[in-house]
Amino acid sequence: MDFNLPPEVEQMRRAVLDFAHDVVEPRAHEIEATNRVPDDLTRAAADLGLFGLSIPEEYGGLGLDMVSKCALYEALGHAHMGFGGVISAHASIGTTGLVTLGTEEQKRRFLPRMATGETIAGFAITEPTSGSDAANIRTRAERRGDVFVLSGTKHYISNAPVAGLLTVIAVTDPTQGARGMSALLVEMDTPGVRVGRIDEKMGQRGALSAEVIFEDAEIPAANLLGPLHGGYREALKILTNGRVGIAARATGSMAHLVELGVAHARTREQFGRPIADFQAVQFMLAEMQVDVVTSRATWQYVAWLVDQGRSVGMEASAAKLHATEALSRVADKAVQIAGGMGYMKDYPVERWYRDQRLLRIYEGTSEIQKVIIARSLLQ
């Protein structure tokens, strides 16, 4: 296994890291105050190619393998987590289904605009009655001639208020349970499709999510993504690979918190000397760094397995579970090192502490990851 990046990817990784530190993070207070990502930051991200991470070069994307893509996700993890959330929801689960399952016509129709960020994408599976229990989906898509008539409600859908395209998982054969679901490419300007209430979240400001309501929306049959009645199975594959990206982004966020902790420890004085001199602080920093190193090694290995064409259901769950739980530990220690300052909204650690909490919930809770891992051991 060789995790060294090609020179051009390493150059881009450094560019994304600089962009995160020097461009996005200085705008964090603006994102927090307005609950939106400024248009110029979106354009800058598009210029870097971040919206095309998962898209092949022939459609305008970067055509990266999984190891390279996750290396950029880790660099992106140093940026405001709401900003990173917009990018990852689009470039990961919002895009990979179309790339892997789409027809040539579908790819040529949608991917070039997605690669430039002109069309933002999202993935809609969660409903009021089905989160972790995805097999309980109630949104229906009834085939009528050349269209599917789509009815139902999705909620907590990342990017929904700004998206132009959603991959929607809906029931197409209610007699078959989980085996009777299909994936549809749904354009948000379709009559009968509307965004409902925009969510007010604890953190990740700027990464908007909302309910999406389908009221007898007519979706062209040509927008069926992948096999009929194969949507649930394919959705699980999409989520599996997405979990590796979350692990990488969580690793970057940990590394950023270590940087903040080290900088604070060197400059904050107590009892006449920097708190970095105290072993209690040194031990917290050491434990934080151990979580960075182990999380990075894990996502690199699982991403490499993906590039080898291996099935990684259990390994991806392990990577996400470890990295997101580790990020919570690191964020907690970062607040502790900062003391009272770490609890104040004008200090970045407070924001990171709130923002990271969501990673243990979306794209499969920590408990669901444990179920997947245990089943793989006991089957």
Question: Stretch 103-112: mean pLDDT, rounded?
Answer: 97
- Residue linked to tokens 């972790």: 132
Checking if the pLDDT of 235 tops 80, the result is no
Question: How many other CB atoms sit within 10 Å of the CB of residue 230?
Answer: 18
Going through 128-277 in order, the beta strands assigned E by DSSP cover 140-144, 147-158, 165-171, 181-187, 193-198, 209-220, 224-225, 269-270, 273-274
Using the CB atoms, write b or e for 324-335: b if 16+ within 10 Å.
bbbbbebbbbbb
State the pLDDT at residue 245.
95
Q: Which among 191, 182, 192 is positioned nearest to 224, based on CA atoms?
A: 182
- 173, HSE (Cβ side, Cα atoms, 13 Å): 13
DSSP labels for 182-211?
EEEEEETTSTTEEEEEEP--SS-TT--EEE
**pLDDT classification of 352: cutoffs 50, 70, 90:** very high
Alpha-carbon Rg for the chain in angstroms: 21
State the pLDDT at residue 209.
97
Query: Could you tell me where in the chain the CATH 1.10.540.10 domains are found?
Result: 7-115
Residues 6+ apart with CB under 8 A from 52: 60, 61, 62, 91, 114, 115, 116
Please tell me the distance from the alpha carbon of residue 345 to that of residue 125, in angstroms, as a whole number.
33
**pLDDT classification of 241: cutoffs 50, 70, 90:** confident
Tens of pLDDT along 202-212? 999 999 999 99
Query: Could you tell me where in the chain the CATH 2.40.110.10 domains are found?
Result: 121-227
Question: Among positive and negative, which fits the CA dihedral 6, 8, 11, 13?
Answer: negative
Checking if the pLDDT of 2 tops 80, the result is no
CATH topology of domain 7-115: Butyryl-Coa Dehydrogenase, subunit A; domain 1 (1.10.540)
The CATH architecture assigned to 121-227 reads Beta Barrel (2.40)
State the pLDDT at residue 1.
78
Q: Minimum mean pLDDT among 40-54, 63-77, 133-147, 268-282: which range? A: 133-147
State the pLDDT at residue 190.
98
Average pLDDT for the chain: 95
Tens of pLDDT along 21-42? 999 999 999 999 999 999 999 9
- Tokens matching residue 17: 């890291």
Where in the sequence numbering do the catalytic residues fall?
Answer: 363
State the pLDDT at residue 267.
96
Superfamily of domain 233-378: Butyryl-CoA Dehydrogenase, subunit A, domain 3 (1.20.140.10)
Q: Where are the alpha helices (DSSP H) in 268-347?
A: 279-307, 313-338
**pLDDT classification of 301: cutoffs 50, 70, 90:** very high
